[in-house]
Amino acid sequence: MNSVSIGDLAHSYLLQRRGSGLRAEMSKLNQELASGQIADIKSILAGNFSYLSDIETSMSHLNAYKTSSAEATQFTSAMQSALDVVQTQSTDLGTNILSVVAGGIDAVSRQVTVEAREQLGAIVNTLNTDLAGRSIFSGTASNQAPLASSTDILNSVRSVMAGQIGPTDKLAAVDAWFADPAGFDAVIYQGSSDAMAPFRLSEHEDLSLDVRANDEAIKDVIRNVAVAALADDAALGIDFTERAALLNDAGVGLMTNAADVTALRANIGFIEERIDDIATRNSIESTSLEYAKGALLSVDPYETATRLEEVQFQLQSLYTVTVRSSELTLVNFL
């Protein structure tokens, strides 16, 4: 009968222990080679995680700023698109109106009022645009459309003009109603008087985007289109001469509005540039932090691969020694 000495048992134990250590080392090196980062972070940081924690916290904040910047960009882009439509439609209408007034043909002047009613509806719909369920021209009341319907606007302006004698009085009454806080702002504008919550773009920079449907430039467009739409209103009993005066006022006003809307869009454009500048700066900082984290935790792939080959060779050598000591297959050994 074969006997096993204490020396044999100790030798077997040492081989097993060495094998376990090499297998653990090989597993760690495989992980590092796959991830590109050191597996044992504690060893590289010597227990001091504050530097790494600061880097990761800053990166988390920058990711949040990136999301906020993207949202702000979406809002400004949607505003620009909407105002571009409003400006184009109102300017084209103003051009048509002045051309009709210059022609002095009654039937044509009646037709342009129909166009004005259609354009008013289109402009209101455009200003009531929402982005992901949030109205863009309602201020903090983004859960609701900023404007009542074009029909409500015409009904309100009609009631203001009713009973006034001549185009001058009618237009004065309309201007007073649009300027009165109890007029357009209370009856037609359904948004908030406060700007939407600012976007946090960086640690020290918040972006306020205060463009609402009761902005003076937008109100003036609505005022002029509404006047043109009612210039042939049967309930107001407007004759050809008065209609021509109302249309001329609306047409001139719409052409003037083009510059006001352009100025409004230029302000938004300035905000867009600011968003881009801050986002670019944040991106550079984020890249720097990623590099710093990588430099702290990354491993040299060549050195890791070389070390992995060494460990694999040592493990193979250990297997050779072990198999000579006892009947063992490679599968059982590993």
210-229 pLDDT tens trace: 999 999 999 999 999 999 99
Instruction: Note the pLDDT of residue 284.
Output: 93
Question: What is the secondary structure of 285-321 as a DSSP string?
Answer: HHHHHHHHHHHHHB--HHHHHHHHHHHHHHHHHHHHH
pLDDT at 4 over 50: no
Distance (Å, whole) CA 230 – CA 151:
11
36-63 pLDDT tens trace: 666 566 666 666 667 778 888 999 999 9
Instruction: Note the pLDDT of residue 35.
Output: 64
- Helix and strand counts by DSSP (H, E) for the chain: 11, 4
Instruction: Note the pLDDT of residue 149.
Output: 97
Q: Please state the separation of Cα 50 from the chain's center in Å.
A: 33
Query: Which amino acid is present at 297?
Result: L
- Residue 118 burial class via C-beta count within 10 angstroms: exposed 0-12, middle 13-18, buried 19 and up: middle
Cβ–Cβ < 8 Å for 315, 22: yes
Q: Which long-range contacts (CB under 8 A, 24 or more apart) does 259-267 make?
A: 260/216, 260/217, 260/220, 261/83, 261/86, 261/87, 261/90, 261/217, 261/218, 261/221, 262/87, 263/217, 264/83, 264/211, 264/215, 264/217, 264/218, 265/80, 265/83, 265/84, 265/87, 267/211
Distance (Å, whole) CA 326 – CA 113:
104
The residues facing 130 across adjacent strands are 135
- The residue among 294 and 207 whose pLDDT is bigger is 207
pLDDT at 26 over 80: no
Query: What are the start and end residues of each CATH 1.20.1330.10 domain in the chain?
Result: 73-261
- Name the CATH superfamily housing domain 73-261: f41 fragment of flagellin, N-terminal domain (1.20.1330.10)
What are the angstrom distances between the C-alpha of 132 and each of 66, 122, 196?
18, 20, 15
Lowest mean pLDDT: which of 3-7, 24-28, 29-33?
3-7
- Residue 302 burial class via C-beta count within 10 angstroms: exposed 0-12, middle 13-18, buried 19 and up: exposed
Give the Cβ contact number of residue 284 at 10 Å: 10
Average pLDDT, the chain: 85
The alpha carbon torsion through 320, 321, 322, 323 (nearest 10 deg) reads: 50
Distance (Å, whole) CA 203 – CA 58:
10
Mean pLDDT in residue range 71-85: 96
